[in-house]
Structure 1
Amino acid sequence: MTTGQRRTETLYEISLAIRQRGSLAETARAALSAYVDHLDCSAGAVLERTTGPSYDLVAAVPSDATDLEAYEQAHRRLQRRRDRTDRERFPLSARSSDETRYWLFELPGFGVVFLAGDALDRQTAHALDAVNEQFAAACRNARETEQLRAERDRFEAIFDAIQEPIVTAVYKDNEPIIRRVNDTFLDVFGYDEAEVIGMSVNDLIVPDDQTQRTEARGIDEQLASGEPVTREIRRQTTDGMRDFLLRAVPVDADDSNEYVGIYVDITTKGRQRRFEWLYNETREILASKDTETICEHTIATSRELIDFSRAAVYLYDRDEEALVPAATTGGSHEWEQYTDDGSVAWDVYRSGPRWFEDLSNCERTVPCGEKHGSALFVPLGEHGVLMMSTDEPGSFEETDFQVAKLLAVIVETALDRALREQGLEEIQSITRRILDAEDHEDAARGVLDQLPNVLDMPISSIWRYDGADDALEPIAMSDGALELVDEVPTFSGDESIAWRAFNDGETKLVSDVPSHGAVYNEETPLHSEIIMPLGDFGVLVTASTRRGSFSEGERRLLETLAANVETAMRLVSRRHERDLLDQVIARVLRHNLRNDLNVIQGHATALTDHEESRAHAEAIIEHCENLQKTAQNARRMREIVESSGETTTLSLPEAVDHALRRITDHFPDTDLTVEVESTPRIVAHPALPTAIEQLLENSIEHGRSSDAAVGIRVFEEGDTAVVEITDDGPGIPQEELDILDQHGESALEHGSGAGLWMVDRVVEYSNATIEFNTDDGTTVRLRFDAA
């Protein structure tokens, strides 16, 4: 079996172990164990990126892996990376102080995986991208599942407000054991909470009657099999035997058969009918897949629960900055949208439910403009408002108000779920579109062409980080954003919220932009924003002209989109780099091979015509050596580009010494002056010695005609480490320096620029800078941030 086949088999074995399990920790630990086992690593850990300045440990294999010096050093490196604006590219690799090799791989949209051990080679490390994406997706899904469970728990909590007895029980040994009850349950059945938790429901409230006991067992069997129960029963209460309508629904729990039961006193038949309708219609509302159906079911359910003349569901439309009627009991022409703050609908949307006994006393604008009768207004979370009204004052009771509030919570939950599912589908659509983008600008336009409509984010923009200027520069804006901004700013330093989000690597949800301490423009028309970092690429910003416009649910959706956009931008970059490499190598080989083969052919012809052939033979040998050098450069160029994301911590003097050893082997007679004034350590691409060698070779070759002396110097200047190469020759030709501005294959009008092209790539991959001065000879300076 070949090395490549073994690598493929290893990656396949790891991928088989990656799947969502019972919890995030279990998901991470199972996959991490496969990484460690199949890659022959000594230890590993998974860390989740938090909203603060640190990473949280999710799992470690073995459990004491966090005690390793390699782990501690890697963790410190992650902390430093988050504090820097010019972050190193993943994967990161280095040796710890105890000479243990460690690797840090990005889990996009989630965090980082740490591996320790010498068996992992560079080719396998770079082949892990797809597996890491799979691992990250499993972790994100596990985290989302845990959040959904938390949401389910919060949803259950709303039943504490219902004025009916409620119990949550789990079946153990076929007995319904109580986990939680509300206060009404305790009051009605006459117990303290400490008495009921852990007890059987049947032992507490089922009458000591064989018929009732048998009926209770039948109910248990039905619930344990996953079927809901609706049945009239008799139970013992503090007031004696009472008749109830039992509504019990199984809950999809991971580790047990659990159910929630509500006991509706059916002495009053009208109240019974209300809760029957609420129960049945709740299932319909929660099962609805789109907002239109949910709103229509809400109006129909409201009509059966509460006696009113008119009802409407208003939903917030961010594009219009208005509350817009989505479903009503009457013709749509009666119901206008509300764009101002002088209406009851906006008051309720911002502040909470209102009950008007007599609308004639209301000073605010009301729907349909009818200031008579009575009305109930309840907010639907961040989604909008539910309104019900009658023509007569005093038409509603306290029970109506409570039912309306309970219905609003159910509708809010349904809208949350529908918008989340719809949003995730739209995010997948956006992601598929931008994965085929030709460049970053095309990808950014693809996002902003769809984002305003599919996620109701009309004011959106994308900024890209420019390492040379150390600034965030805009590359695409939606039409809504362009209409609001006269001059599009560039962000740098610590002068803006966008820069802070990028620098901190965490999402910023700002509810009141003008009052924020880091606002870029205090006169901005934008009043709320969500700024999401796109890794090292830049930031995605969406905004609104209304304060507090965005919900936590929208934030989570946009963070998912941002993680996908970050991955897409990275893939576009890799594709661009590989295309560029193919263009450059093709140009180098085409030009050099053609020239050298022409010369070889000419000298070979001369050999057949002349007896004095020594000079021609030497020329043939020289040009053959040139061809060999061209092939070597092509190989080096490919190795550099294919490892573009790799950096390592190294000693700058050692990198210089490595380059000098190779140069003196090729040019033993060169007059080289070496000055090492300090010994800084830096983070750079592993091919840095090759780049320094290329610069030295350029100085030597271009200085031969004037017997030039070449010098190299290592020193520190402020917070930067510098390597400086000088010669007093005629200077590097301008056409070769043009390569550093053009980057692409068109820059290589002749093959001699290949060396400088490699230098340019290594400098960019190292997040360094390069300076040329050709006024008197040539001086080249490479500047790096100290590690």
Structure 2
Amino acid sequence: MESGRVVLVVGVEESSTAGLESDDWTVERVGTVAAASDTFDRVDCVVTAADLPDGSGLSLCERIRERRPALPVVFVPATSDDELARDAVRAGVTEYLPVSVISGPDDLRGAVAAALDADPETTGGPGGADTGAVQVSADRTDELERYETIVEAVDDLVFAFDEKGRFTFANEAHESMTGNPAEDLIGKHPAIQVPDEDVAKTERIVRELLAADDRDHATFEMDVIRTDGERVPCETHIALMTDEDGEFQGTAGIVRDVSDRKEQEGLFSTLVEEANDGIIITSEGGIQFCNEQMAKMLGATREELTGQGVHRFVADEDRETVEEMFWQRYRGESDSARYEIDLCTTDGERVPVEVNTSLVSYQGSTGDLAIVRDITDRREREQELELYEKMLNAVPDLVYAIDEAGRFIAINEAGRELTGWNPDEAIGEHVSIGMSEADVAAGQRYVEQLLADDDREKAIYEMELHRTDGETIPAENHVALLTDDEGTFRGSVGVVRDISDRHRRERRLTVLNRALRHDLRNSMHVVLANAELLTAEIDDPDLRDRLDTIRHRAEEVNGLSEKAREIEQTLGTHETERRAVDLAPLLDTQVETFRDRYPSATVEADFPDHAWVEATELIDSAVGNLVENSIQHNGTDPTVTVSLSVDDDRVRVTVADDGPGIPEKERRIVKQGSETPLDHASGLGLWLVAWITRDSGGTIRFEDHDDWGSVVHLDLDRCDAPERADAHQATDGRALDDGAGALGSDEPADGRTDPGTRTDHD
């Protein structure tokens, strides 16, 4: 044996190769296929494991056979396996020595010595040494017997043909696969079990191998015909056999049943082609394969993409990431990688994607398999969520979400300043950390109402918010349901607003209003009393006219004060929630009341049987004020007409009279919704009508008439009648109180309860 030889160990654990060193050779060790490929020209033998970080020992052997066909390869898998042994034969290993059968250092050292001493020109088994077949020495009978046993034990068809293409050898697997006993095949032409077209293909391949200087084996697919006529798809590996002078002696090969693989390939092919994600395989930076979805994603055809450099489709700022992820896997630092980048289509558009990659063996070399998912929608959702988060944190109110058990799952930063809570520490805590038991129960009742009413979107109620420093804050809680994509209740969300300033303003206004009305009323009483006394003492007609003017204006001021008191009581003690209201019976009751109260007036009515609207409980009070104003300001025998018209979406209430009409100034101010010191209305009646109508989601419109009376239209949203007319959501009639519906009363005349539909608050 020559000295100075080099044995390269690839990926085999040192514990399995201990004692391999020898005076006849030196040992070098590497861990990957890539590292081993750089040494082929200077080593004398390769000892390789089956599994390597960037490929396999068999793929390494195939590379060796392409560059140095006679370089000995000792294959050392972890365990013995018949299928792996067949693959080893096909790949052209010199020695097959599983770790499981190595009993000591001498076994592996002996296998290396035998491989180094093997005659590269000696043929053995079905192929020659330079054809990838297993080489055995003639004087090693035990080794020959071992390989003969393997050949007979394998399930694949092993064969040898003479130079005329007739069987000279067939293993026993022929009978089990085809039904033809091996001994019956000897001397026969393969056409006995191979279709004519595949016989022609095999002969053509053999001619090509004979004509080639750098290739003496080939792998291709063909069918084998069973004796019952069934075709079995197979993969065939064939090699030329030559004598010592290089003369052609025939062929040898292995035929493997690939029915299962074909079925799997068909399944995988369907999955790959039908996948919603892009699938791409690259090798040395070039695209070797991509599915239709990947081509669509890049805006090109598969043919156009094949062979293209993959980096041209990666955004400039992401190329370094892609390169680094590849080399981490190639160096064995990780098996796979997952990252997000932007791809650039052929049209220059950017597509955000999530990439999952891993190394694969593809067409004899190491490639990079990537599953590419378009995350445009997800990126947009993330950006929206980020925007919402910024918006919520910019809101000065406490914004929260709780689960179905009442535990916080989200709180914005404003909650820290308002409550003193640390938002992160508050997550998972029950809402009772900031609310009284009564307010928690109220919140639960409102949630239950929302769950019971599909038409109701939110609820608003007042509560006290308890700070960590012990202070309580009056607050308004806007609550809505939290549901998943299937509509299942998952909790609630809300906005809690500090209304301390509002309460202070309301208390101050209440004090000011009461003081103003009290002083104003008392002062007007004094004025009226003195006017009466002076009238009795003065005979001058001019002075008496002036006293009448004083008395009249004082009575108007007193009436205005009383009207303000009525409006405050009415609007202050009634909710502005909207619900289903049947206006027809309500207004019919009002008309009858006005006819009794004002017998000199003519009140005409034109109503359908029903006119369901979505409005507040005071909507009939608005109509009643219009009717009463028309009667009181239109002379001694006024005529007032009240009518209802219904279409698909709206209900219109019309009040018309034959009086002097509503001044343009009054109409303009009420329509614009505000007054100025120089432009204000003379009374409050129209304001009350406008406020109630707008709280009901309706509009008020004045119709112009140059020669007679006034016409006022109230347009309201039409709604369907409730399933139960007596349900708490609906109103279909109530008594008129004091000539203006519920004005001045603390409760609705019909005893209506809290409504259960939409709520509008400022």
| Same fold per superposition (TM over 0.5) | no
Q: Point out the structure with max Rg over C-alpha.
A: 2
Scaled by the length of structure 2, what TM-score is found? 0.31
Larger RCO: 1 or 2 (CA < 8 Å, sep 6+):
1
Scaled by the length of structure 1, what TM-score is found? 0.30
